[in-house]
A = this chain, B = another copy of it.
Amino acid sequence: MKIQTITWHRGKIRIVDQTRLPARFCYIYLEDIVQVFRAIRTMQVRGAPALAAAAALGVVLSARKRRTKNIEALKSQIDKDIQYLAKARPTAINLFWGLERMRRVIDSDIYQTKEGLNNALLKEALNIIEEDKRVCRKIGREGARLVRNGDKILTICNAGLLATIDYGTALGVLYRAKKEGKDFVVFACETRPLLQGARLSCWELQRAGLDVTLICDSMAATLMQKRGINKIFVGADRIARNGDVANKIGTYNLAVLAKYHKIPFYVVAPLSSFDKNIKRGKDIPIEERPSFEITNLFFKKPITPKGIKVFNPAFDITPHNLITAIITEKGILQKTEKRGQSKFRKFDF
């Protein structure tokens, strides 16, 4: 069965409900932007590139639900909905990038009828989806060049088909390498608190026939020390101009471990994850999520004493000096050292 994480289906958005995996694979249908907002906030749909598509289709729903026939009033209402959707989650730039592309459509003077605008919005959202499919495959080809027979590869969270439309970024590299006949094994960090590694990456890697072994996040260091991990591939939620990377909490941990164990550390992301307006990683807003994600397993049974304080950042910042290269659809950005300063080169971003 070929899976597409997000699809436009008869006037609704069909998504894979990622909170139910791996126990149950099921689609849910989003019919208005409040449902889209909730699906993003509760992580029924997650992963930076997938958020761009979900938000873009959310704007399509917004335009269709509005009753006004005055085109300027309609555009102003859609603009408000875009602002609303932008508040769903703060860290992944792709959410804003997807919304920005939709805003450019409503800002254009070309569309002067409701129908024309609706069609243009749908076309743009479907473009975002089709582009993601192509971009992920290009990224996969670029990254697969780095994979060798016998590699022992570590990854965290889920940067796979579930985080994109149907292929993945970091996991896309592995799918491509496998397709090229390369022989390697993968270790997946479970990725507390919401276990995207254990639940989602294990599910899709196993499904694709890759050799995958699950570890707890705290086992990464001993895995590197004892099992000879020789490459790390991770996704990205936002990349600053200097190459600092915001990604799922635990990524920075792995990068520090990689440096100590002299293991190449690769970030895999489309260009839409780069934020030209952010100079350094520490300027990227980091979402802090509710404490019950940590204190109550799957929001049910509490595992901690009552009233315990919790620190629950959903992302961390990996400084560029810990990153070996960034793999994009336009090629691999290698780090170059110049007068003690490291920079990513190949083209400007």
Contact = CB atoms under 8 A, between A and B. Distances in A.
A227 B311 contact: yes
Which of the listed residues A257, A309, A317 has the most CB atoms from chain B within 10 Å of its own CB?
A: A309
Judged by DSSP, the binding face of A is: mixed
Interface in A202-233: 202-203, 206-207, 211-223, 225, 227
A235 to B, nearest CB: 15
A256 interface: yes
A260 B301 CA distance: 36
Nearest to A255: B221
Contacts of A222: 249, 252-253, 313, 316-317
A211 B156 CA distance: 31
Interface string A274-314: 00000000000000000000110110011111011111110
Contacts of A257: 253, 256-257
Interface in A237-255: 249-250, 252-253
B301 A214 contact: no
Interface stretch (A46-54, A64-72, A96-104, A185-193): A185-193
Given A252-B225, A256-B260, A218 B189 contact: yes
A195 B212 CA distance: 24
Contacts of A212: 308-309
Contacts of A225: 252, 316-317
A195 to B, nearest CB: 6
A259 interface: yes
Contacts of A227: 311
Contacts of A301: 23, 298
A16 interface: no
Interface residues of A, number: 57
B216 A253 contact: no
A125 B218 CA distance: 35
Nearest to A302: B23
Nearest to A315: B222
A199 interface: yes
A303 B308 CA distance: 25
20 contacts: A22-B303, A192-B216, A192-B217, A192-B218, A195-B303, A198-B304, A206-B307, A206-B308, A212-B308, A213-B309, A215-B294, A217-B217, A219-B253, A219-B316, A221-B250, A222-B316, A225-B252, A225-B316, A227-B311, A257-B257
Interface of A: 22-23, 156, 187, 189-193, 195, 198-199, 202-203, 206-207, 211-223, 225, 227, 249-250, 252-253, 256-257, 259-260, 294-295, 297-298, 301-305, 307-313, 316-317
User: A-B pairs with the 10 shortest C-beta distances?
Assistant: A218-B250, A221-B253, A217-B218, A222-B316, A192-B216, A213-B309, A22-B305, A203-B305, A221-B252, A256-B260
